[in-house]
């Protein structure tokens, strides 16, 4: 959230590696500026859910999930400050092999153990009405979230094919229980509406703090099969929109191109106005623009195109031909079928034709949610821009 002054503070801290002391020191400097956990969580007996990004099972070194060192630093800091009811959990992108097993394989369960943080129940969920939602009026939320009082969001900076980047706001999607996430993609099939739903989710369950692991970010074919990119930063804020705007500056992406930023601001989740964001970096106050000038990684591989969002107004009638498409590399495909099972549509928008090995898309049905690309365990699916989009949009190569 923004402060009473209407301004948001984002702490951008050097964190060159995942060493225990390095991360603890980086986090402590932001917390001290914020007045400590006590300023955010006055009741020490409350049940606190620490929410990492656990998209799928992956070695932490691949930068698919929140690094256990960052998660551990948050647990340690809470425990040291006297908070004893700590839980963690995330609903992964696919139901297999289950939230608990994924947390184990990503190193999160082991990182939680020394601080007594226990796995929250993500094996079931129930409806949570949200009549004040602008886009979404209810959610199916994991039981473990509903049984906690507060959330601390520990997200990861990665590319995302639907929203361009996933950061603080998008990470909260993991509190939606299991397969209901797929149903959300069907109900909110384009990037703007999906971002509107995410904004409502952030309003319904506002975390008290957002900590972003941008020590190693992910570029390219994210959020699962991209390439690790070292940025060496930790970002901390109580305002998820402002934090995501600053994260955009780090990767030299225009924040206005990220639907979650605008929709989050419109819904009152936070501010996307650079003039109202103070970035504190090493004791110095910067604007998001200055962050981009000083640290922005123009080589960071993230989608910067504009053609498929209707910006090329005179060509709007061609929009179906400008839309990005998921494509399968037959040489990498091992015919596991995960992509078909991950498609939220019924009937599916991709299927394996009889006698064939590799799934084939029905692009007329496909809503471009990119769940298939996100969940392919073998990096065989990438998202391609069309030739026409490349011809009309100078941002695309």
Judged by the rule CB under 6 A, the positions of this chain that interact with ligand SF4 are 326, 328, 333-339, 342-343, 345, 349-350, 359, 361, 366-372, 376, 378, 380-381
CA nearest to 239, candidates 219, 261, 224: 261
Nearer to ligand SF4, 52 or 92 (CB): 92
Provide the minimum distance between the beta carbon of 363 and ligand SF4 in the complex, in angstroms, as a whole number. Answer: 8
The total of other beta-carbon atoms located within 10 Å of residue 27's CB is 21
3-state secondary structure of 127: strand
Q: Which H or E element spans position 141?
A: strand 138-142
Provide the minimum distance between the beta carbon of 146 and ligand SF4 in the complex, in angstroms, as a whole number. Answer: 28
Nearer to ligand SF4, 12 or 55 (CB): 55
Nearer to ligand SF4, 304 or 378 (CB): 378
Provide the minimum distance between the beta carbon of 330 and ligand SF4 in the complex, in angstroms, as a whole number. Answer: 8
Nearer to ligand SF4, 8 or 161 (CB): 161
Residue 308 CA to residue 306 CA, distance in Å, equals 6
Nearer to ligand SF4, 91 or 342 (CB): 342
Distances (CA, A) of 13 to 8, 10, 124, 211: 16, 10, 37, 11
DSSP for residue 328: E
Provide the minimum distance between the beta carbon of 150 and ligand SF4 in the complex, in angstroms, as a whole number. Answer: 33
DSSP for 226-288, written as a single string: SEEEEEEEEEEES-HHHHHHHHHHHTT--GGG-HHHHHHHHTTSS---GGGEEEEETTEEE-H
DSSP for residue 113: G
Nearer to ligand SF4, 235 or 381 (CB): 381
DSSP for 145-183, written as a single string: HHT-SEEEEEEEEEEETTTEEE-HHHHGGGGB-TTHHHH
Nearer to ligand SF4, 27 or 328 (CB): 328
Provide the minimum distance between the beta carbon of 377 and ligand SF4 in the complex, in angstroms, as a whole number. Answer: 6
Provide the minimum distance between the beta carbon of 337 and ligand SF4 in the complex, in angstroms, as a whole number. Answer: 5
| Geometric angle at alpha carbon 45, from 41 and 50, rounded to 5° | 60
Provide the minimum distance between the beta carbon of 91 and ligand SF4 in the complex, in angstroms, as a whole number. Answer: 17
């Amino acid at each position: 959230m923004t402060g009473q002054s209407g301004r948001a503070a984002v702490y951008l801290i050097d964190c060159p590696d995942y060493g225990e002391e390095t991360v603890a020191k980086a986090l402590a400097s932001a917390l001290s500026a914020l007045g400590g956990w006590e300023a955010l969580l006055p009741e020490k007996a409350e049940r606190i859910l620490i929410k990492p990004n656990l998209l799928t099972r992956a070695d932490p070194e691949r930068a698919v999930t929140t690094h256990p060192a960052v998660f551990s630093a948050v647990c340690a800091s809470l425990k040291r400050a006297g908070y004893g009811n700590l839980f963690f959990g995330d609903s992964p992108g696919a139901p297999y092999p289950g939230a608990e097993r994924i947390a184990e394989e990503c190193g999160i369960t082991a990182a939680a153990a020394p601080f007594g943080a226990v796995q929250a129940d993500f094996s079931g969920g129930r409806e949570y009405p949200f009549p004040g939602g602008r886009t979404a009026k209810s959610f199916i939320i994991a039981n473990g979230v509903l049984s906690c009082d507060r959330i601390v969001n520990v997200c990861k900076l990665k590319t995302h094919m639907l929203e361009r980047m996933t950061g603080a706001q998008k990470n909260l999607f993991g509190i939606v229980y299991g397969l209901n996430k797929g149903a959300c993609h069907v109900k909110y099939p384009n990037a703007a509406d999906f971002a509107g739903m995410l904004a409502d989710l952030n309003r319904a369950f506002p975390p008290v703090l957002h900590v972003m692991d941008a020590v190693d970010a992910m570029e390219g074919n994210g959020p699962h099969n991209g390439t690790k990119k070292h940025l060496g930063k930790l970002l901390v804020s109580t305002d998820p929109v402002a934090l995501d705007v600053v994260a955009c500056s780090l990767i030299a992406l225009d924040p206005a191109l990220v639907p979650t930023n605008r929709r989050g601001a419109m819904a009152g989740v936070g501010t996307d106005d650079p003039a109202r964001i103070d970035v504190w970096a090493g004791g110095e106050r910067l604007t998001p623009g200055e962050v981009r000038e000083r640290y922005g990684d123009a080589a960071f591989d993230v989608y910067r195109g504009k053609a498929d969002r209707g910006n090329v107004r005179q060509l709007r009638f061609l929009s179906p031909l400008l839309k990005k498409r998921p494509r399968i590399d037959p040489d990498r495909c091992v015919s596991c079928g995960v992509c078909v099972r991950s498609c939220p549509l019924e009937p599916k928008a991709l299927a394996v034709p009889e006698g064939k090995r590799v799934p084939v898309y029905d692009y007329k049905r496909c809503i471009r949610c990119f769940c298939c690309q996100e969940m392919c365990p073998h990096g065989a699916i990438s998202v391609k821009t069309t030739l026409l989009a490349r011809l009309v949009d100078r941002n695309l190569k």
